[in-house]
Amino acid sequence: NTPVANQSTNKIWKLMEKYLPNTKEAIQSSVVNHVEYTLAKTRFDFTLLHCYQAVSHSVRDRLIEAFNDTYQYFNNKDVKYVYYLSLEYLIGRCLQNALVNLELEGQYKEAMLDMGYNLESVYEQEVDPALGNGGLGRLAACFLDSMATLNYPAWGYGLRYSYGIFRQQIKDGYQVEVPDYWLDRGNPWEIERLDVNFQIKFYGSVTKKVEDGKERTIWEGSEIIVARAYDNPVPGYNTFNTINLRLWRSLPSSEFDFKSFNQGDYFKALESRQRAEFITSVLYPNDSTYAGKELRLKQQYLLVSATIQDAIRRFKKKRKEWKEWPKYNALQLNDTHPALAIVELMRILTDIEGLEYEEAWELVYNSFAYTNHTILPEALEKWGVDLLGNLLPRHLEIIYNINHIFLEKISRKYPNDWRKLSALSLVEEGTHKTIRMANLSIVGSHAVNGVAALHSQLLTSTLFKDFYELRPTKFQNKTNGVTPRRWIRCANPGLSALLNDVVGSDDWILDMDILKNFQKIADDPAIQNRWMQVKRQNKEKLYWWVKERCGVDLNIDSLFDIQVKRIHEYKRQLMNILYVIRRYLDIKKTPAEERRKLFVPRSIMFGGKAAPGYITAKRIIRLVNAVSQKVNNDQEIGDLLKVVFLPNYNVSNAQVIIPASELSQHISTAGLEASGTSNMKFVMNGCLIIGTMDGANVEIAEEVGEENMFIFGARVEQVEEQRNKMRNSNYRDYFGPRLTEVCDAISNDLFGYKYDLEALLDTIRNKNDYYILGADFESYCEAQQRVDNLYRNKSEWTKKSILNSLRSGKFSSDRTIRQYAEEIWDLEPCEIPNPSKSEKER
Ligand code: 475
């Protein structure tokens, strides 16, 4: 007499409707439960790491509640979704961010303290998931935070690399890359979806069949793998909405196995399984350069194919007609890396769903949009037709087809204009025929945007000029932004508390623009004092960070001068370090008793990774370390000048570095930095910028006032003129005596490492100085002099620091995301009801 189970009472679902309470006791009991039952730990082998894991699991439980409710609600409301497609997400640590956004940090702090743990040291146990290179990947992460916070129905889609960007070590002054196996302690944040798998095909052949008088195209892949979903909840701030970042992992497909096993070669079959897993193993460590490797193309296609299949599955559940696709779906391409999504959707709609070509194109065109992140020619993706046609034969056919129809339209509009035709073509002819992914992205999208006003203007006047003339309304600007949750509230608790007091609430976290109403405080000596105290505490934190990792004792009262970003010639870290040498030589020439009068003590810090194959960038790191060695050990110099290379710059280190900085450098050659986003983070944190009129610096100057920045150097319109000047003269003539002396000092082996450093100097002495360091150097030195002069006046400096912060509202990613939603995605927010106000208990 076994009891009969009765599902009709729905008891299981009713029980699940209860939410975890957020009292101290409830938090403690959920943490303890995870210690005991999830981690299976006892008091005898329990470490701080386990504490972190248990806390994270208990926070994840809360995220899952919100996350499930959110998508169920979206689904019921039949909303339009935006799909954000990106090969990179630099999300950074999750624990503090989740607690802040769930507004539970205070409760957890108290609950943990009561059990004998300091929440701050628990935070430090977390690995920093670094599934991105730099600006582009971090932007995607800030966007997710804003999409969740503003209640937009959104999905992030990306890849779950086993190895993120390498960890950077400095050995003997050189960069050494160490693999970043970030999953080795597990990942408490993700939810593995064993039941969400999609088949991905590669290679094979295309055949045509006639069925009922209609031609059908069939692509039979010869390598089949599986993409499995790993979900990462992204909580919004001050809302119950929690959205999903779905990352795909490649796995072998069992269907494919049977074939090989039956052929009897066991080891060969296992090898091919490992090859499948390898696809999402490692993030390509190139920032702003295109590598052209087949494995990278496989990564791109895997992301694209799995995502489109997932989106289609979701759409089909709605039982709408295909023509409603754009009404329910917006797809945003984070650069051209996922551009094959355009082709994949075309393929599925025509080959599998049986839509007519024109019908399908209409749906694709109206749902896709593309963001460009750089105009550097070396970053433009161009896949060889041999490689693409071999890996994805049907996709190449479709690309040719798109191009054919597109070019026919063009030649009707501009008969016999061969220049235009070849500039617009998706195909670049030549000995090595390639597909231009940017052209594909533009042709397949209804909106194309740059990431700062200047950048968007340059796109339409240079790189994409012909496309712009064809359809000017397609081109837009969406100036980048950063999330104040992570970059002020989490990274700078001292400043957050101060702003709370100034505003009288924490409303600024959701509406940074209100800070503008409080500008009068900039002159208030009491506020200035508190402002300086906050900065000093942040500087102390960085002081200890540097002491521990670099063994350098900084003077906390010195000016903290920082340049942190990927190492690249166009970002001109070389110009910065050459100026440091200039300063060093000048101090040495000055009689000892006058030095303190003439020079403000400075701690100049550099940080950033060089792509492993980028020799010049690596030599810049070598030079910084050589100078650091010499200067820091020069007894005559003392604390007047310190130079440090901060190793392994990443998101969590940035959260320590940025709030502590007083001056930050954004000194790219005008026209080459699309936007920059750390410039925005520095400004929010009350740091003054020394920079060129490039990228978003231009708009920062508009907002905070040029008088509150140190602007120098050639403007975009002058760069080419400067290059021409230098092309026709000896470097000694256009460098001027001050820069020449610096170069000579290096050549005379003042810092050692002559072989590396001479080669580095040659990039500006004998190779036409493409990034015009020589032309901008004098004006840079003058700007640096203005920095020293202002720093002597603490009150004036602090006033400017306050104004920078209070006027930075435009650079919240909330503003950016609202513009995307309204001007590109046509997307409405959808906030889920607060469960504490429903019958559900809290
Ligand atoms: C710009 N990355 C910044 C930032 O918009 C801008 C390219 C190829 C392969 C891998 N990564 C890349 C980039 O191009 C990139 O990060 N671009 C950056 O995007 C966000 O603020 O100026 O350089």
User: Do 482 and 92 touch, CB atoms closer than 8 A?
Assistant: no
Annotated active-site residue 677? The verdict is yes
Per-residue model confidence (pLDDT) at position 8: 81
User: Do 245 and 158 touch, CB atoms closer than 8 A?
Assistant: yes
Token readout for 156 is 């992030």
Percentages of the chain per state (helix, strand, coil), in multiples of 5:
55, 15, 30
Mutate to test the pocket of ligand 1, among 84, 87, 136 (most ligand atoms within 8 A of CB): 136
Per-residue model confidence (pLDDT) at position 260: 59
What is the Cα–Cα distance from 162 to 283, expressed in whole angstroms?
Answer: 8
Mutate to test the pocket of ligand 1, among 86, 89, 374 (most ligand atoms within 8 A of CB): 374
Atom of ligand 1 nearest to the CA of 376: 14
User: Cα of 368 to ligand 1 centre, how many Å?
Assistant: 20
Residue environment code for 368-387, b if the CB has 16+ CB neighbours within 10 A, otherwise e: bbbbbbbbbeebbbbbbbeb
Ligand 1 atom 4: the closest Cα is on which residue?
Answer: 135
Asked if residue 816 belongs to a domain, the reply is: no
Asked if residue 593 belongs to a domain, the reply is: yes
* Residue 46 sits in the same domain as residue 105: yes
User: Cα of 584 to ligand 1 centre, how many Å?
Assistant: 33
SS3 288: coil
Token readout for 611 is 């792509």
Q: 630: which DSSP letter?
A: H
Question: Directed axis angle between helix 573-589 and helix 615-632, to 10°?
Answer: 20
Per-residue model confidence (pLDDT) at position 213: 85
- Mean pLDDT of all residues in 464-483: 98
* Residue 353 sits in the same domain as residue 329: yes
Confidence of residue 734 (pLDDT cuts 50, 70, 90): confident
* Residue 140 sits in the same domain as residue 73: no
Annotated active-site residue 350? The verdict is no
Q: What contacts 794, CB < 8 A, 6 or more positions away? A: 532
Confidence of residue 28 (pLDDT cuts 50, 70, 90): very high
pLDDT tens profile 551-606: 999 999 999 999 999 999 999 999 999 999 999 999 999 999 999 999 999 999 99
User: Cα of 538 to ligand 1 centre, how many Å?
Assistant: 28
* Residue 99 sits in the same domain as residue 153: no
From residue 790, alpha-carbon distances to 281, 557, 642, 807 in Å are: 49, 15, 20, 20
Pick left, alpha or beta for residue 666 (phi over 0 → left; psi -120 to 50 → alpha; otherwise beta). beta
Pick left, alpha or beta for residue 129 (phi over 0 → left; psi -120 to 50 → alpha; otherwise beta). beta
As a whole number, the mean pLDDT across the chain is 95
What CATH number is associated with residue 709? 3.40.50.2000
* Residue 658 sits in the same domain as residue 725: yes
pLDDT tens profile 739-772: 999 999 999 999 999 999 999 999 999 868 999 9
Q: 506: which DSSP letter?
A: S
User: Do 34 and 58 touch, CB atoms closer than 8 A?
Assistant: yes
Burial class (CB in 10 A: 0-12, 13-18, 19+), 64: middle
pLDDT tens profile 38-96: 999 988 888 999 999 999 999 999 999 999 999 999 999 999 999 999 999 999 999 99
Ligand 1 atom 11: the closest Cα is on which residue?
Answer: 287
Strand partners, 177: 168
| Full domain range(s) for residue 244 | 78-93+128-477
Per-residue model confidence (pLDDT) at position 726: 84
Confidence of residue 206 (pLDDT cuts 50, 70, 90): very high
- Mean pLDDT of all residues in 279-304: 93
Per-residue model confidence (pLDDT) at position 45: 86
Strand partners, 507: none
Per-residue model confidence (pLDDT) at position 834: 84
* Residue 82 sits in the same domain as residue 55: no
SS3 654: helix
Atom of ligand 1 nearest to the CA of 137: 16
Per-residue model confidence (pLDDT) at position 14: 80
Asked if residue 736 belongs to a domain, the reply is: yes
User: Do 481 and 812 touch, CB atoms closer than 8 A?
Assistant: yes
Examine the pLDDT at 838 and tell me if it is beyond 60.
Answer: no
Annotated active-site residue 50? The verdict is no
Cα 145 to chain centroid distance, Å, stands at 12
- Mean pLDDT of all residues in 597-620: 97
Confidence of residue 442 (pLDDT cuts 50, 70, 90): very high
Residue located via tokens 């590598």:
291
**E strand or H helix that includes residue 643:** strand 641-646
Per-residue model confidence (pLDDT) at position 814: 98
Per-residue model confidence (pLDDT) at position 78: 96
pLDDT tens profile 244-265: 999 999 999 976 556 656 667 7
- The question of ipTM being above 0.90 is answered as yes
pLDDT tens profile 101-121: 999 999 999 999 999 999 999
User: Cα of 759 to ligand 1 centre, how many Å?
Assistant: 27
Q: 562: which DSSP letter?
A: E
Examine the pLDDT at 193 and tell me if it is beyond 50.
Answer: yes
Per-residue model confidence (pLDDT) at position 839: 46
Per-residue model confidence (pLDDT) at position 3: 83
Token readout for 30 is 């959920």
pLDDT tens profile 138-163: 999 999 999 999 999 999 999 999 99
Give the residue from 334, 378, 398 showing the smallest Cα distance to 159. Answer: 334
> What count of Cα atoms within 13 Å lies in the side-chain half-sphere of residue 111?
22
Per-residue model confidence (pLDDT) at position 290: 81
Asked if residue 102 belongs to a domain, the reply is: yes
Per-residue model confidence (pLDDT) at position 2: 82
* Residue 440 sits in the same domain as residue 549: no
* Residue 221 sits in the same domain as residue 261: yes
User: Cα of 374 to ligand 1 centre, how many Å?
Assistant: 6
- One-letter amino acid at 522 equals A
Residue environment code for 515-530, b if the CB has 16+ CB neighbours within 10 A, otherwise e: beebeebbeeeebbeb
Per-residue model confidence (pLDDT) at position 64: 95
Token readout for 566 is 């990927």
Number of domains in the chain: 3
The single residue of 347, 373, 395, 619 carrying the catalytic annotation is 373
Ligand 1 atom 21: the closest Cα is on which residue?
Answer: 676
Per-residue model confidence (pLDDT) at position 817: 99
Asked if residue 358 belongs to a domain, the reply is: yes
Token readout for 683 is 């400004």
Confidence of residue 841 (pLDDT cuts 50, 70, 90): very low
- In this structure, how many other beta carbons lie within 10 angstroms of the beta carbon of residue 87? 26
Length of the chain: 842
- In this structure, how many other beta carbons lie within 10 angstroms of the beta carbon of residue 504? 8
Stronger pLDDT, 212 or 538, i.e. the higher one = 538
Atom of ligand 1 nearest to the CA of 133: 11
Annotated active-site residue 566? The verdict is yes
The single residue of 60, 566, 595, 810 carrying the catalytic annotation is 566
Rg, the chain, Cα only: 28
* Residue 452 sits in the same domain as residue 312: yes
Query: Which phi and psi angles does 208 have, rounded to 5°?
Result: -110, 140
Annotated active-site residue 815? The verdict is no
Annotated active-site residue 681? The verdict is yes
* Residue 169 sits in the same domain as residue 108: no
* Residue 166 sits in the same domain as residue 105: no
Asked if residue 510 belongs to a domain, the reply is: no
* Residue 40 sits in the same domain as residue 133: no
Give the residue from 90, 77, 38 showing the smallest Cα distance to 565. Answer: 90
Per-residue model confidence (pLDDT) at position 269: 82
Q: 163: which DSSP letter?
A: B
Among 201-215, 433-447, 514-528, 594-608, the range scoring the smallest mean pLDDT is: 201-215
Atom of ligand 1 nearest to the CA of 134: 16
Per-residue model confidence (pLDDT) at position 248: 99
Asked if residue 134 belongs to a domain, the reply is: yes
Strand partners, 250: 227
Which long-range contacts link 347-353 to residues 24+ away (Cβ below 8 Å)? 347/219, 347/394, 347/395, 347/398, 348/308, 348/309, 348/312, 349/322, 350/217, 350/398, 351/216, 351/217, 351/218, 351/219, 351/394, 353/322
What is the Cα–Cα distance from 825 to 328, expressed in whole angstroms?
Answer: 10
Asked if residue 65 belongs to a domain, the reply is: yes
Using a 6 Å CB cutoff, which residues line ligand 1? 133-136, 139, 286-288, 373-374, 379, 451, 480, 673-677, 695
